[in-house]
Amino acid sequence: MRGTLNDQSLIYLQIAQMLEDDILRGVYREEEQVPSTNELARGYNINPATAAKGINLLVADGVLYKKRGIGMFVASGAEETVRRKRKAAFYDGFVRPMVKEGASLALSEEELLAMVRQAVKEGEEK
């Protein structure tokens, strides 16, 4: 188990995000078992119900599934599911507000795209 919990968001959401991060990094691959709610609870010193709530979010999203009596496993296609979900959240949380702010500043489409290209170029240089 990696990562540390913080006060910035709900603990169960952080648990779900850490598991998603581990799936994206290849720590947990398709059909591999993830830590149990009790392991997560012990590892992060949280209530098992809180850990279960985070895992259940991933089950609802089709990222994890339960093998009765054995534990929770990474679903087939989980990495792509997580990527798709995060891309949609990125679009809604960053791209749309950026375009809205650009419009309020009377930026043309080309000016906005030029700014994005410049930011990408600067990010590659670091």
What CATH number should be reported for the domain holding residue 67? Answer: 1.10.10.10
Q: Are 75 and 29 in contact (CB under 8 A)?
A: no
51 contacts 12 by C-beta, under 8 angstroms: yes
30: nearest Cα among 87, 69, 68, 81: 81
Q: Give the total number of structural domains in the chain.
A: 2
Whether 83 and 121 share a structural domain: yes
Residue 11 has pLDDT above 90, yes or no: yes
Tokens of 109: 């489409």
pLDDT computed for residue 1 by the predictor = 61
Q: Is the pLDDT of residue 126 over 90?
A: no
Taking 80 as the threshold, does the pLDDT of residue 2 lie above it? Answer: no
Residue located via tokens 């392991």: 39
Q: Which domain holds residue 117?
A: 79-125
Which DSSP state fits 63? S
Q: What's the pTM value of the predicted model, to 2 decimals?
A: 0.82
Position 9 pLDDT exceeds 90: no
Residue 10 has pLDDT above 70, yes or no: yes
Q: Measure CA of the first residue to CA of the last residue in the chain; give whole Å.
A: 29
The answer to whether 41 and 1 are in contact (CB under 8 A) is no
pLDDT, tens digit, 9 for 90 and up, residues 67-83: 999 999 999 999 999 99
